[in-house]
Structures are given as structure tokens and as C-alpha cells.
Amino acid sequence: MRVLLQKVSEASVTIDGQVHGAIQQGFCLLVGAQDSDTSEEVDYLVHKISKLRVFEDDTGKMNLSLADVDGQILSVSQFTLYASTKKGNRPSFTAAGEPTHAKKLYEELNAKLAAEGIKVATGVFGADMQVALVNDGPVTIWFDTDHK
């Protein structure tokens, strides 16, 4: 699985002109899966994301986790994280997971993050979404379970 995490001061996802999910301080996650991914990858990501210390403490050092700042998560499915641009100018998405499998893993990730006590807002898997966010820092971190 791949997750692009951005630390945000706010983020929202809009579908058909209606805000579907919105958060204040926390993480905006763009989430992609491939067919070989399992619950093992989900568990690894839940641990890494929920424990990640990138919020500033009183001395300005990135030393606090999402729980320490009462942060939230906006999770958005994004199969394009598996784009291949090796040939030509049109990306190939053949490495992206089959939608039924990818959706199951995306929903499992969100449920397990919520089980950690984190408020999780989401987009809609497979929908045309507009994501708005204010990247705080900026802090952007790439997780790829093929390279854990």
C-alpha cells in the first residue's frame, strides 16, 4: 500500500458540490492499494500513522503525535499513487489494485485508525472528488509498504 500523508491545519473533500468530509488539525491521507496488499500492510500503516510524531512541542521540535494534539484524519482513496510514467506521456495504472480489493483495504485502514480513537473523515471510494487542504509546515511524508 501507499499513503501520501500531509500534516494539515485543515482539509476537506467535496463531491458534487457538497462537502463530504472535513477536518481541522491533523493528517490528510491519500491512500492507494495494490492486489498483493493484505491486512498486514494495513496494520503496519495504522501503527506508523497513529504514532507519527510531526507536531511541534513547546520548544518547536516535531515531537508530538496525532493523539497528543487531538488531531483528526481526512482519508481519501487515490489509485493514481500507483501510476507508472516509464513509457510515453500517459500514465499507466495497471499496478493499482482491483477496485473491490482496494476498497476493502481502504475501509479497513479507516476503521482501524478510528479504533485507535482518531476521528476519521473520508471521501467516497471511486468518486470524483475535490480535495482542499492547508499543508502545515509543509510536512509531507510518503509511506510505501513495499519499502518498510
Out of 27, 79, 143, 145, pick the active-site residue. 79
Q: Comparing C-alpha atoms, which of 67, 73, 80 is closest to residue 123? A: 73
The set of cell numbers assigned to 117 is 480513537
Out of 34, 72, 78, 122, pick the active-site residue. 78
- The verdict on whether 34 is a catalytic residue reads no
- The verdict on whether 79 is a catalytic residue reads yes
Out of 24, 38, 80, 130, pick the active-site residue. 80
* Total of domains in the chain: 1
Q: Which domain holds residue 97?
A: 2-147
What does the pLDDT look like over 109-137, one tens digit per residue? 999 999 999 999 999 999 999 999 999 99
Distance (Å, rounded) from C-alpha 94 to C-alpha 115?
32
The phi and psi torsions of 139 (rounded to 5 degrees) equal: -125, 120
- The verdict on whether 27 is a catalytic residue reads no
Provide mean pLDDT across the span 82-103.
94
Amino acid, single-letter form, for residue 62: M
The pTM (predicted TM-score) of the whole model is: 0.95
Query: From residue 15, how far is each of 19, 61, 78, 87, 99 by CA, in Å?
Result: 6, 37, 14, 32, 19
CATH code for the domain in which residue 98 is found: 3.50.80.10
